[in-house]
């Protein structure tokens, strides 16, 4: 593994641990040349996933884009990055295990909304308002009413 600080190829592994449901291995390394420490991640390379956009274009699935969209929805909310990374990992895992290698952007958006709804209602509404492109306030209110119905009379989610 090349050191990101000095560029030398000799480093030793100090610590190894599984993350994201053991689908990724995190390694803490130390460069033999400069002595600086850095972290690397090792992930199994699976068949590439393709997202079919609304206009019919096909685009390679990018976990980074998925996570960025979730982060935007959760901006200024008390949600740990690790929670969102786990949710993104669960979505990616489900996509790979569904088979086929292709998914519509609509289905992917629904999967993200399901995860966000369970994590944070405000983040869910933010994402849904952009994803569903509400044309007027009445559609937005319908979504809020649906969310409130799911909470039930106690004010808590009825999961």
Q: Could you tell me which of 55, 83, 51, 48 has the C-alpha nearest to residue 65?
A: 51
Q: What gap in Å lies between CA 151 and CA 154, rounded to an integer?
A: 7
How many C-beta atoms surround the C-beta of residue 124 within 10 A?
21
CA torsion through residues 128, 129, 130, 132, sign: positive
Please check whether residue 5 lies inside any domain of the structure. no
Pair 16, 82 in one domain: no
Give yes or no: residues 108 and 72 share one domain: yes
pLDDT at 159 over 50: no
Structural domain contains residue 159? no
The least confident of 6-10, 45-49, 90-94 is 45-49
Mean pLDDT (whole number) for 20-27: 82
Question: Which neighbouring-strand residues pair with 50?
Answer: 60, 102
Domain around 110? 50-151
pLDDT value at 136 more than 70:
no
pLDDT in the model for residue 157: 54
């Amino acid at each position: 593994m090349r050191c990101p600080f000095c560029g030398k190829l000799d480093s030793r592994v100090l610590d190894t641990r599984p993350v994201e449901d053991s689908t990724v291995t995190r390694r803490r390394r130390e460069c033999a040349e400069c002595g600086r420490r850095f972290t690397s991640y090792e992930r199994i390379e699976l068949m590439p996933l393709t997202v079919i956009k609304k206009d019919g274009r096909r685009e390679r699935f990018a976990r980074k884009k998925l996570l960025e969209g979730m982060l935007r929805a959760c901006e200024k909310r008390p949600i740990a990055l690790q929670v969102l990374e786990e949710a993104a990992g669960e979505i990616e895992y489900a996509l790979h295990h569904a088979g086929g290698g292709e998914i519509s952007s609509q289905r992917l958006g629904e999967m993200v909304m399901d995860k966000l709804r369970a994590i944070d209602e405000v983040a869910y509404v933010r994402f849904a308002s952009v994803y569903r492109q509400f044309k007027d306030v009445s559609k937005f209110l319908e979504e809020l009413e649906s969310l409130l119905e799911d909470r039930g009379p106690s004010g808590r989610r009825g999961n």
